[in-house]
Structure 1
Amino acid sequence: MASDEEQAAFIEALLEGPSMEPPAGVDPNFDDPGGNHTIGYAIIILGSTLATMAILLRLCSRVILKRIKIEDALFISALGLYAGHQYVFYEMSIFPGLWVHQWNFQLKNISHISYNIHIGSVFYGLTIMCLKVGILLDWVRIFCPVGTRNAMLWISHVIIWANIAFYGIGTMVELFQCTPREKIWNPLYEGGSCPMNMHAHNFASGIFNIISDLVILAVPQSIIWKLQMSTSKRIGVSLLFTIGIFACACAIARQVLINTLIRSDDVIYNISSLGLWDVGEITAGFMIVGIPSLPQVVKKIPLTESVVSLVRVFTRSTHSDLHSTPKQELPLWMKPRGQKAPRHWDSIITDEYNMSSVRSTDSTVGLRRNVEEVPQ
């Protein structure tokens, strides 16, 4: 039987060795493990900047309209949780870096990295839950005026409560998958148990995430395309929501990587790509929230209307000089009355996206009545 000294020496040698047995013919390289740091930093800065700007736009529009709703609190909470996710991803970008094979860093470092992955997964689930619930509540307020009981209302409520239940339970599963919790991130912890099948949980989570993303993307389109407006405006309004396609693409790519993780022992290497798609999906969610608020904020910037008017006058005068032909001057009473040029952003669909000028069909009368009450 080994003495205490021999056992301590064995554990010390184990900790100083690689975190994973390398493939045949490959030697661990602790001094130059490879990987990439720059991409991680760039994605973190870009994603954080876009998300913060989106929420600031949203909050500015709410202040302008003097309307703060429960969904705005959810969006602020999501941004705070996203900051936690980004910090964890930033730490991983510093060490060991992205796309570093586990056999290229020592086992003594695995606990800290595994702990960050565990906390990052918790932040991801809670961030996605707050974003999706907030977006759906916002769209219910837009497309389902008080007293309306349409299909979108019921679908939205089903998805809202499904997200709360699924991500709420999923967070508890992630937090308490092992007893004691240290066993989650410490591979050398002796005793305890981990009764949860986390592979099955992660697979189911990815599938649910894709389905809910697709439903959130598709639900408002059925109402948008029923609105009576020009094709160009209809396409312009619909395209505002197509950023959700990118979010769905990120969710699908994330699911592919989850399947890879389930089959691979080189977890740290594959988790890097998963983190990048997480950032892309969450950032897209924030942009869905914030970008539609841009017109409302821009209109309040000093001199904006003057600059736009000047550009219009210059463009029209240039066009007249190039294409006008001599005409006999008509009497004033025969000249047609000028019409005010419609503003492109007047048809943007959010809670206050100036839809009062859009005529509605019978199925969208309630929607028009709801948005016409908005102070212009």
Structure 2
Amino acid sequence: MFESLQPISYAVVSIFFFISSITTLLRIYARGYLVRSFGLDDWCMFFILFFNAGQQIILYYFLHYGAGLHLTTVFTTHPEWLTNLTYALFAEEIYYIWMHWVIKMAFLLFYLRFATTRTFRCLVYGTMGLNTIFSIITWLLYVLQCMPLDAIFHPAAHPKAKCVDRAVLAFAPTGFSAFIDIAILILPIQPLWQIQVSVRKRLTLIGILSLGSLVVLVSMLRIIVLVQFEKNIDLTYTLGKLIIISSIEIDLAIIAANAPSLKIYWSKYISRPNTPTRKDQYESITLSTMEGKKVLSQASSCHISSSNKSGARSNMISPEIMAEEADIGIAISHERMLGELTRGSQEALWNSEDGIIVTSSVGVVVQDKPRQEAGDLEANYYVFDKE
């Protein structure tokens, strides 16, 4: 056993805060400037950048006033620190639930980007409601845990105070949080599997979102530490363990929430082929932006060819290449998609209900016939065939 957990606590808290902050900044840049698809989920993570800084201040405050040291050491050298830690614990309880609420809402708002069915949207909104209700219940538990509230900080002055059992305060909020985490983990599997991209890329995105399972695992480990904390087993030393596990839990949740947006960098700078097709671009951007109703379901093309009298063709773009180039499907916004498709085909039609674009594929064939007098020109000199 370490004589002091403070060096490890400072290192873990600082490293994980740095990594989560970098991923948040990368997300903001990618969604705001690279693909220009900044949504409500991104705003949540933008504010988390500042909220998490506040969380770090509280954790450093704990460590400054003896968290991670053995209780006997603190009680012998600085007994007044115990009161400071009690006030900080109450503030952390309120703030910690707020952090979790915002991060979970960021996850769920991201899911609405690819919510193409009413059932899935209802499930997402229902989970949002549960997340909010559980958070409010937890806040009420914390604020009303003792009557009067001052009994939390000065128990000796209120011998007849009525307080909620500490086990309820510890494990009820953890159970609520774990339930929402599991729901967030399970919700997107089916709709993501139905996205119109390759199986490999569907599995990739599901794998990215599955990073949230690490948060569930850390939450379970946090329960073990909470059991020790509630039994007052070397209170300040156990608080050091709780700081480590709580910091990892929060920052892993932030990293997992940012992970889908970081796919933009992978597709743009690392795994991009030498000559990417529009289909590659479509799948890559769709995996990172996920605008549900804007996902392109079908697009065809227009090819123009010229034939001489022997039937040989020149200056021809093959239907396969044109179809690939027309498969733009940039799922960012209604207006941007219309603009891209209009340049490829003037006959593009947009159905706002199911997000399907239907275009006609028209082949124009110009036949080179022997020179004739004006009166002898045949009616089918110019043949327009609709394929």
Superposition TM-score, scaled by structure 2 size = 0.67
Q: 2:137 aligns with which of 169, 177, 191?
A: 169
Greater share of residues in strand: 2
> Contact 2:182–2:216 at 8 Å: present in 1 too?
yes
Matches within 5 A, 1:1-376: 34-64=3-33, 65-98=35-68, 100-106=69-75, 107-140=79-112, 142-145=113-116, 148-150=117-119, 152-190=120-158, 193-296=161-264, 312=274, 342=280, 345-346=284-285, 348-351=287-290, 356=295, 373=334, 375=336
Do the aligned partners of 1:210 and 1:251 also contact (CA within 8 Å) in 2? yes
Amino acid at match of 1:240: I
When residues 186 and 83 of structure 1 are mapped into structure 2, their CA distance, relative to the original with a 3 A threshold, is farther
Amino acid corresponding to residue 113 of structure 1 in structure 2:
L
Structure 1 residues 192 and 48, CA gap change in structure 2 (3 angstroms)? farther
- Structure 1 residue 83: Cα displacement: 2.0
> Who wins on radius of gyration, i.e. which is larger?
2
Q: Write the letter of the residue equivalent to 1:109.
A: W
Percent same amino acid at aligned positions? 18
Distance 2:62 2:155 in 1: 18
Structure 1 residue aligned with 2:380? none
How far apart in 2 are the matches of 1:245 and 1:340? 33
CA distance in 1, matches of 2:277, 2:136: 54
Q: State the Cα deviation string for residues 322-346 of structure 1 (Å, max 9, x = none).
A: xxxxxxxxxxxxxxxx977936844
User: What letter corresponds to residue 348 of structure 1 in structure 2?
Assistant: L
Instruction: For residue 124 of structure 1, report the CA deviation from its aligned partner.
Output: 0.9
Give, in angstroms, the shift of residue 158 of structure 1.
1.8
Unaligned runs of 5+ in 2: 299-328, 338-387
Contact 2:36 2:332 in 1 (8 A): no
Greater helix share, 1 or 2?
Answer: 1
The alpha-carbon distance between structure 1 residues 308 and 79, as it changes in their structure 2 partners (threshold 3 A), is: closer
TM-score (norm 1): 0.68
**More relative contact order, 1 or 2 (CA 8 Å, 6+ apart):** 1
Task: Specify the alignment match of 1:365 in structure 2.
Answer: none
Give the distance between the partners of 1:61 and 1:286, measured in 2 at CA: 16
* Consecutive unaligned residues in structure 1, runs of 5 or more: 1-32, 314-337, 360-367
1:75–1:134 CA contact under 8 A, matched in 2? yes
Shift of 1:90: 1.4
Q: Is the 8 A contact 2:205 2:260 kept in 1?
A: no
Q: Secondary structure at the match of 2:163?
A: coil
- Please say if residues 6 and 63 of structure 2, whose CA atoms lie closer than 8 Å, have aligned partners that are also in contact: yes
CA shift for structure 1 position 70: 3.5
**2:126 partner amino acid:** V
One-letter amino acid matched to 1:80:
F
Which shows bigger deviation, 175-184 or 117-126? 175-184
